[in-house]
Amino acid sequence: MENLFSMAAFPSFLIISAVIAASAQQQRYSRIYLGSSLTPTTNSSWLSPSGLYAFGFYKLTNGYAVGVFIAGIPEKTVVWTANWDSPVFPSNVVLQLRYDGKLSLQQKDRSDIIIASASASASMLDTGNFVLYDSSQRITWQSFDNPTDTLLPGQHLSAGKEIFSSASATNPARGIFRLKMQTDGNLVQYPVNTEDKPNYSYYSSFTDGKGSNVSLNLDNNGLLYLFNGSSIILNLTTGQYRTKTIYLMRIDVDGIFRLYNRLLDHRGNWTKEWSSTEDKCIPKGLCGLNSFCNVTDRVSGCECLPGFDHVNPGDWSSGCERNFAMEGCKAKDQNVSYEIRSLDNTEWEDTNYADVKDMTREDCIKACLEDRNCGAALFLGTLSQYGSCKKQKLPLRYGRILQSDELRNGPRIALVKVSTSTTVSENSVKEIKNEPKRQILIIGISLVALAAVILAISWVYVHRNHARTYTISNNKNVELIEDVGLRAFTYAELVQATNEFKEELGRGASGAVYRGILSNNKIVVAVKRLEKELAGEKEFQTEMKVIGKTYHRNLVRLLGYCFEASKWLLVYEYMSNGSLADILFNPESRPCWEERIRISLDIARGILYLHEECETRIIHCDIKPQNILMDEHRCAKISDFGLAKLLMLDQTYTNTGIRGTRGYVAPEWNMNLPVTVKADVYSFGVVLLEIICCRKSVDRRLSENEAILQEWVYNCYAVGELNKLVGYEEVETQTLDRMIKIGLWCIQDEPSMRPSMKIVLLMLDGTFDIPVPPCPNSFQSSI
Ligand SMILES: *[C@@H]1O[C@H](CO)[C@@H](O)[C@H](O)[C@H]1NC(C)=O
Ligand SMILES: *[C@@H]1O[C@H](CO)[C@@H](O)[C@H](O)[C@H]1NC(C)=O
């Protein structure tokens, strides 16, 4: 498939051309008798009397195929292929017109493959038709009756028959599109493996009801027409007599059928004269499941639904699947929240399980978000703001971007449900934020209308909720910091949970972390004992409220705390795969390239949330691999956020009080300059480079020019030796280039040069063109 579109960019995109071995002998035969044989390397084909057509072997990249090809032109264009379901043979195959009349392909230790039978002789005709005769000279079999992907002048596709595209430019096997001459008189194109039903078709001659015996015909002048046995019912092409010109019609690899002509001389070439459509996105099934076709600069390509990645990049028909980040973390997070991303002006197969009329786009978004089964909804708007909302289960297929003239009846929008944390687009964020407002508005209106009833119901609702809260706190002896779901533990409880702080999980600047098990629900937790002098109890409570309100898939969740006398402890969810440092710097657990990219995205999303999405902006101040923990699905989560204020006391930004860790801290820390969110961007940049290269930012064991990662990366980037950075690991060069550029932008000395986390995410997503980064310290003088 990979050549499909590039090929289509050329004026004459003829697919399979036969290569005849130079040593092969070719003779012209008017008649081929029983006992004659061909092999790929010696006597490889039988020519027609004029020498224009040949029947025999033609070479493919991985073997040989048998068929009819135009031998009289340099391209040796193939027009028919034998044994289409498995057309490729090794060089030791022999083609023989056996004495029993069968035309067969013979291979050592394999049973013969019979191409055609019951014959007394054969002939390669000058029309391109290869025929077999019985002893009374009657035709018993002909290639014209069994077309593969091509029709030649004089050949027809009779009622009930179909032709198929080839699999690829280099593989003549049956492909994924078909053209059928139906017995209802209609000529229709479908993807393979579908029923002959209108909702699968992507081309129709609209001639149904014109007779049961209509055939598709091509004449010597390039006239392509439908004939009902007595008269022409439709001309597809105009046809024009030209001297020394041959024509052929073929359903190409891309699913479109076209008429080509070619002057019969050695300098000529195939020229497209007519095609069933000019829109390369029309053929259904060109893009696999959950992807849609888009044409840019006359070249078509397949894009995934938001939140999906290509299964096999380069093979579009393989489609897209949910990207791992979502799947991996979904099971863990019970409360994944969803949002809707919209794909405007797209068309999909409609297999809805619910179709609600007279909805606005917003109603449709809401309806899908509220319905667990809804994977996507197709909103088919009218010119007013209302339309129908067709709820779908995934996968979606046959997607394509519509042309502007196809939108006459109103917008065609696909609304795709994705988990919140996998997306960053401005639009979607807005949409989400709009939702609660809408609900409030609806409730407000209802209240006016049905005040008494609603009040009564609300009272019951509120009352019941109160009762439930009361029950919980009573049973479990839980105290809650006002409206934050944090639990206050007693010191004794945590001593018991950690078995007297027996199992230390790690130790950082702020204190040691211990494994614990909560006695009431057997949840495994990580208990952090803060060992430094801390701010007062009031500040502690304030910070706990801030942290308690954060909730994001890529942040380690704080479950509770304890402050008793001089004891300060924090209780976090337990991360079973340790820290990023553990897996990244250990050659045995080193994540693969794709996983490293996913981890980078996870971290970036977590930081973005801290910076821009949670109620109180949080600057982490200590982003480093040791503070990034991995859950059981190896989903990266940031820990230790929100502690900066607590631990720094009043020593604002001085050298003595810096919390950041050497190697990761932004230069402004050391210069008594105000610290902003851009300090985290710097640290993220360093971590990103570490993730790319799987090494620490400072490694004195390495040679001098490699010891400081930031410098080494820039130097390699400057001389274009990116492969060195990944130790010549096989990674996608484009992605590597993108990741390195992002890293270099993040570690700019000048804070204002660094992108915001939002931009970083867009860059990581590949939706943002990244300019060439300057040398990280070239703007140093300005700070
Ligand atoms: C189709 O074209 C042929 C040749 O140009 C012409 O004779 C015939 O009338 C046309 N038929 C229709 C239905 O257009
Ligand atoms: C094909 O032939 C046409 C007409 O002779 C000519 O204009 C065109 O440049 C040729 N294309 C190629 C690729 O040779």
State percent of the chain over pLDDT 70: 81
> What's the predicted TM-score (pTM) here?
0.55
How far is ligand 2, taken at its centre, from the CA of residue 15, in Å?
17
Token output for 531 = 């060992």
The larger pLDDT score, comparing residue 191 to residue 409, is at: 191
The answer, yes or no, to whether residue 722 has pLDDT greater than 60, is yes
Backbone angles phi, psi at 546, to 5 degrees: -65, -50
How far is ligand 2, taken at its centre, from the CA of residue 173, in Å?
29
CATH class of 12-275: mainly beta
Section 44-50 average pLDDT? 93
How far is ligand 1, taken at its centre, from the CA of residue 232, in Å?
7
**Per-residue model confidence (pLDDT) at position 719:** 93
| Atom 5 (ligand 1) nearest CA | 238
How far is ligand 2, taken at its centre, from the CA of residue 12, in Å?
9
Section 216-220 average pLDDT? 96
C-alpha–C-alpha distance, residues 665 and 607, integer Å: 15
**Per-residue model confidence (pLDDT) at position 318:** 77
**Per-residue model confidence (pLDDT) at position 588:** 81
**Per-residue model confidence (pLDDT) at position 671:** 66
- How would residue 439 be classed by pLDDT, with cut points 50, 70 and 90? very low
- How would residue 117 be classed by pLDDT, with cut points 50, 70 and 90? confident
C-alpha–C-alpha distance, residues 593 and 582, integer Å: 17
**Per-residue model confidence (pLDDT) at position 483:** 52
According to DSSP, the residues that pair with 166 across neighbouring strands are 174
Section 723-727 average pLDDT? 89
Among 91-100, 477-486, 560-569, which is the least confidently predicted range? 477-486
Of 571, 566, 556, residue with least CA distance to 486 = 571
For residue 269, give the ligand 2 atom closest to its CA.
1
List, by residue range, all CATH 1.10.510.10 domains of the chain: 580-782
Q: Could you say which architecture CATH assigns to the domain 467-573?
A: 2-Layer Sandwich (3.30)
How far is ligand 1, taken at its centre, from the CA of residue 201, in Å?
26
**Per-residue model confidence (pLDDT) at position 430:** 30
Q: What is the per-residue burial (b if ≥16 Cβ within 10 Å, else e) of 581-594?
A: bebbbeeeeebebe
Among 127-131, 227-231, 510-514, 603-607, which is the least confidently predicted range? 510-514
C-alpha–C-alpha distance, residues 81 and 75, integer Å: 16
How far is ligand 2, taken at its centre, from the CA of residue 345, in Å?
37
C-alpha–C-alpha distance, residues 400 and 291, integer Å: 8
pLDDT digits (tens, 9 = 90+) for 121-157: 999 999 999 999 999 989 999 999 999 999 999 999 9
The answer, yes or no, to whether residue 512 has pLDDT greater than 90, is no
Ligand nearest to the CA of 227: 1
The answer, yes or no, to whether residue 273 has pLDDT greater than 50, is yes
C-alpha–C-alpha distance, residues 112 and 119, integer Å: 17
Section 505-526 average pLDDT? 82
Residues with CB under 6 A from ligand 2: 11, 269
State percent of the chain over pLDDT 90: 44
List, by residue range, all CATH 2.90.10.10 domains of the chain: 12-275
- How would residue 716 be classed by pLDDT, with cut points 50, 70 and 90? very high
According to DSSP, the residues that pair with 376 across neighbouring strands are 392, 416
Catalytic site includes residue 112: no
Of 252, 279, 622, 749, catalytic: 622
Which of 225, 237, 238, 240 is the best mutation target for the ligand 1 pocket, counting ligand atoms within 8 Å of the beta carbon and taking the most? 225
Backbone angles phi, psi at 735, to 5 degrees: -65, -40
Average model confidence (pLDDT) for the chain? 80
Whether 497 contacts 527, CB under 8 Å: yes
pLDDT digits (tens, 9 = 90+) for 317-364: 778 877 644 333 333 333 457 889 999 999 999 989 899 999 999 999
* Ligand 1 pocket, residue 239 CB under 6 Å: yes
- How would residue 275 be classed by pLDDT, with cut points 50, 70 and 90? very high
Amino acid at 292: F
- How would residue 617 be classed by pLDDT, with cut points 50, 70 and 90? confident
According to DSSP, the residues that pair with 514 across neighbouring strands are 504, 527
Whether 347 contacts 410, CB under 8 Å: no
**580-782 belongs to CATH 1.10.510.10:** yes
Which of 7, 244, 271 is the best mutation target for the ligand 2 pocket, counting ligand atoms within 8 Å of the beta carbon and taking the most? 271
According to DSSP, the residues that pair with 529 across neighbouring strands are 512, 569
- How would residue 182 be classed by pLDDT, with cut points 50, 70 and 90? very high
Which of 223, 232, 238, 240 is the best mutation target for the ligand 1 pocket, counting ligand atoms within 8 Å of the beta carbon and taking the most? 232
Which of 15-19, 67-71, 309-313, 476-480 is the most confident on average?
A: 67-71
Among 13-22, 364-373, 723-732, 764-773, which is the least confidently predicted range? 13-22
The answer, yes or no, to whether residue 35 has pLDDT greater than 50, is yes
For residue 12, give the ligand 2 atom closest to its CA.
13
C-alpha–C-alpha distance, residues 127 and 140, integer Å: 17
* Ligand 1 pocket, residue 660 CB under 6 Å: no
SS3 assignment for 26-71: EEECCCEECCCEECCCCCCEEECCCCCEEEEEEEECCEEEEEEEEC
Section 184-204 average pLDDT? 93
C-alpha–C-alpha distance, residues 429 and 435, integer Å: 10
**Per-residue model confidence (pLDDT) at position 188:** 97
The answer, yes or no, to whether residue 24 has pLDDT greater than 50, is no
Section 728-751 average pLDDT? 91
pLDDT digits (tens, 9 = 90+) for 63-107: 899 999 999 888 889 999 999 888 999 999 999 999 999 999 998
List, by residue range, all CATH 3.30.200.20 domains of the chain: 467-573
- How would residue 11 be classed by pLDDT, with cut points 50, 70 and 90? very low
**Per-residue model confidence (pLDDT) at position 97:** 94
| Atom 8 (ligand 1) nearest CA | 232
